[in-house]
Amino acid sequence: MPDHRKLGRELGLFDTDPLIGAGLPYWLPDGAIVRHCLEEYVRDLERRAGYRHVHSPVLAKRELYEISGHWAHYRDDMYPPMDVGGEQLVLRPSLCPHHALIYRSRGRSHRELPLRIAELGGMYRAELSGVLGGLGRVRAIQLNDAHVFCTLDQVEAEAAAALALIRQAHDALGIKAARYRLSLPGPGGKYVPGNWDEAVAILRSALDGLPYDEVEGEAAFYGPKIDVQIADSAGRESTLSTIQVDFHQPRQFGLEYVGADGAKHRPVMVHRSIIGSIERAVAQLIEIHGGAFPAWLAPVQLRLLPVSAAEMPYAREILDRCGAVRAEIASEGSLGARIRDGRLAPFQAVLGPREVAAGQLSLRLRDGRRLDAQPVEDALAWIAAEARRP
Ligand SMILES: [Zn+2]
């Protein structure tokens, strides 16, 4: 497996600048295309699974994290507060407290539950510079996050549904889990007291039938987790997807719903991420595909190769007709060199006098296959169908 840091720079997907800082990569146009396609995929998947999307700010008052418990249990990973007009603001270390407040913004009935709130949002981690590299570990994270607010009876089904969604997305993206991990609390005062045994039992049931390891000391401070681990090109393991059961934050924020009995009850929060951070997910996709992205993710889907200057007007005419198909003209250098340069593109088309005369396109696929020449309209429709999002 190639290293995404090397390949990502070679392919012009992302880069860093010492003036921006370590762990703060920026995305170049081709990288931004891959990222946006992935974001659209996951938002659509979530919408179809009954999630509602929200947006919330990346900053909040320090007090919010004192209530959530992050300030007491997670402060070492947070940036120091900023004094602004007599208030202390912090860059958020997670999205959960904002979502808890969105839940609390009005009265809730049991009929609304499970309430699934999702966001692709920014969060920040004060990683030491020694551990940073490429997209695998960054200081500014775009997280595919969601919180399911539900009754105790619903938690197991919600955790199982989240796990099924994770597996569906990994299949669609070609991601292979290195292992499933049930992350339990360990010794030490890092964890809040509470219903840990109950939460662990729920996650064990959700994992039923899958091979997994139980590892102490890897839980969140507020609850146990299912972590889906992936391996990078160097064999290093990290967490991509996660499901967490949390009784703590609903209690801290005083979350309630009115039950069928007319009385007030406390919901449970299931935290879950399908593809983890966008940064880590793209790092993984670069490595598993070696830069040869599936057509729906490829920054350039069709490369047009005019044999000579005489075919340039025809190439431009086709480019204008490409619509949603992402195409470019490659006209510099020998034809053989251009075909080789484009070996990662899903589709290439050599444009010679014959294609111009017939108004046709002859497609070459990445695996070396060549399709018969066909009318431009048909070829573009075929590419659009091949490049449809899973
Ligand atoms: Zn959360």
- Each residue of 158-180: pLDDT tens digit? 999 999 999 999 999 999 999 99
Query: With 90 as the cut, is the pLDDT of residue 288 above it?
Result: yes
For 44-114, strand residue ranges (E) read 52-53, 59-61, 82-84, 87-91
Query: With 80 as the cut, is the pLDDT of residue 45 above it?
Result: yes
pLDDT band at 268 (very low <50, low <70, confident <90, very high): very high
pLDDT tens digits for range 196-232: 999 999 999 999 999 999 999 999 999 999 999 999 8
The rounded Å distance from CA 48 to ligand 1 centre is 21
Query: With 90 as the cut, is the pLDDT of residue 320 above it?
Result: yes
The rounded Å distance from CA 119 to ligand 1 centre is 11
% of the chain with per-residue pLDDT over 70: 99
CA 332 to chain CA centroid, Å, is: 36
Query: With 80 as the cut, is the pLDDT of residue 285 above it?
Result: yes
Residue ranges of domains in the chain, CATH in brackets: 4-289 (3.30.930.10), 302-386 (3.40.50.800)
* Residue position matching structure tokens 């549904």: 161
The rounded Å distance from CA 277 to ligand 1 centre is 13
The rounded Å distance from CA 350 to ligand 1 centre is 50
Q: Across residues 65-74, what is the average pLDDT? A: 95
The rounded Å distance from CA 64 to ligand 1 centre is 14
Q: What is the mean pLDDT of the chain?
A: 95
The rounded Å distance from CA 208 to ligand 1 centre is 23
pLDDT tens digits for range 328-374: 999 999 999 999 999 999 999 999 999 999 999 999 999 999 999 99
Identify the pLDDT of residue 187.
87
The rounded Å distance from CA 147 to ligand 1 centre is 6
Identify the pLDDT of residue 234.
86
The amino acid sitting at 163 is: L
Q: Across residues 272-294, what is the average pLDDT? A: 96
Query: With 80 as the cut, is the pLDDT of residue 264 above it?
Result: yes
Bond from prior residue into 114 cis (ω within 30 degrees of 0): yes
Identify the pLDDT of residue 230.
94
Would you call 44 helix, strand, or coil by DSSP? helix
Identify the pLDDT of residue 190.
84
Query: With 80 as the cut, is the pLDDT of residue 129 above it?
Result: no
The rounded Å distance from CA 39 to ligand 1 centre is 19
Q: How far apart are alpha carbons 104 and 257 in whole angstroms?
A: 9
> Contact, 304 vs 335, CB < 8 A?
no
Query: With 90 as the cut, is the pLDDT of residue 130 above it?
Result: no
**84-96 in b/e burial notation, b at 16+ Cβ within 10 A?**
eeeeebbbbbbbb
The rounded Å distance from CA 7 to ligand 1 centre is 32
The rounded Å distance from CA 189 to ligand 1 centre is 20
Identify the pLDDT of residue 188.
79
Identify the pLDDT of residue 6.
94
- Among the listed residues 101, 61, 58, 105, the one whose alpha carbon sits nearest the alpha carbon of residue 85: 61
The rounded Å distance from CA 96 to ligand 1 centre is 4
Query: With 90 as the cut, is the pLDDT of residue 189 above it?
Result: no
HSE-CB for 237 with a 13 A CA cutoff? 8
Q: Across residues 11-29, what is the average pLDDT? A: 95
Q: Across residues 300-307, what is the average pLDDT? A: 98
The rounded Å distance from CA 143 to ligand 1 centre is 10
The rounded Å distance from CA 124 to ligand 1 centre is 13
